[in-house]
Structure 1
Amino acid sequence: MQLTKTLALFAAALALGVDAAPVAEPQGALDYSPNPSSPETTKLQKRTDRCGGSSFTGETSGGSPLISDCQQLANNLSGSGYWFFYVWNNTKELARFGTCRFMVDTVSDHGTSVGDLDVKDLIRDSIAKFGRDGRVGAKGAMNCGWSEEAVWWYIWHT
């Protein structure tokens, strides 16, 4: 049933030419989070983990986002849900707070998804591994969604 709903939303997104389609559960309470690249509100399912293990590469420098902003970004995602997207080798911003933004990229032809727990874990682990002088910068790769598509992620300054 969920797969049917997801495929229907994906088909609608393709018809509209949308490059990221947030997925929502039609029943139960929903959280709403602002989409920084659009004035619209994004509806997301509750707490979701959609990806496997990730590689990590540290990129922390004086121009990296503030750790405190990245921590707040992760806190803001609590119970948010997941994003379904297809970007065809064009980086997409999933979330941001202050100086910190979380970006993804994939070359998937049929889209994939990243959960709020995935993003929270990646931010937390990046801070633990590469945080210094109050800043953090990182990137990595993981497989996500039902088709385990390759997704590249980035923690970048806004």
Structure 2
Amino acid sequence: MRLLQTFGILTTFLLGSSRTAPVPDPDPKSILDFLPKKHVHDCGKSTWYNDTSVDSPLASDCMVVVTNIQNGGSWTVENFISKEHQLVQYGTCAFSVVGSEPNALATYYMIGNEDIRSAIIESVNRYMGAGSGRVGAWGRFHCQGGAPSYGYDVKWRIFPNH
């Protein structure tokens, strides 16, 4: 009987201490968080405006951009001086972004590959000139900013790469 009581106390001690022992919080960032992801969405829904002309890039070149970035990617873009940044290009087609205004709370914003791909694909579907095979467009979307919980309005455009 004494042996059972001792065993019970020992079991309670061991199990009780394993249930109450502090467990360190896992690191919220693992090495996998830094690997490129295939589908990165850093921005919300976009608006689209037609800017197609005889000088616009070839839609086929813009679709090569779509293919080239299909395996992932994210661009961190400074916004301190509100300058236009050309992010990707191929042949006659270029894609750029610019923040709506400088802001000390969001000195940078992020653009994902799927944000760029969606803007280009939808622009080609909507505005490719009949017979010309050219497309030009611009729009706006709201993207993740540099400060926690702070987003940013970003203007994008598809234009001729010179």
Mark yes or no: TM-score above 0.5: yes
Are 2:124 and 1:127 aligned? yes
Give the SS at the match of 1:80: coil
- The answer for the alignment partner of 1:91 in structure 2 is 84
Going by fraction, where is strand more abundant, 1 or 2?
1
Structure 1 contact 60–136 (Cα < 8 Å) conserved:
yes
Which segment is superposed worse, 141-150 or 60-69?
141-150
User: Residue type matched to 2:140 in 1?
Assistant: A
Question: Who is 1:145 aligned against?
Answer: 144
| Identity in percent | 29
Report the structure, 1 or 2, having the larger helix content: 2
Count how many residue pairs are aligned between Structure 1 and Structure 2: 123
| Equivalence for 1:156 | 159
Please state whether the residue corresponding to 1:53 is helix, strand or coil. Answer: strand
Q: Which segments of 5 or more consecutive residues in structure 1 lack a partner in the other structure?
A: 3-24, 31-43
Question: Deviations along 1:28-83, whole A, 9 cap, x unmatched?
Answer: 895xxxxxxxxxxxxx5442011111111100000000000000001100122211
Q: Which residue of 2 aligns with 1:100?
A: 93
Q: 1:80 aligns with which of 49, 72, 82?
A: 72
- Which secondary structure does the structure 1 equivalent of 2:117 belong to? helix
Partner deviation per Cα, 1:118-142 (whole Å, 9 max, x = no partner):
1000000000111112000000111
Runs of 4+ in structure 1 over 6 Å off: none
Q: Under a length normalisation based on structure 1, what TM-score does the superposition of the two structures give?
A: 0.71
Q: Secondary structure at the match of 1:65?
A: coil
Largest Rg, 1 or 2: 2
Q: Distance in 2 between matches of 1:144 and 1:79?
A: 20
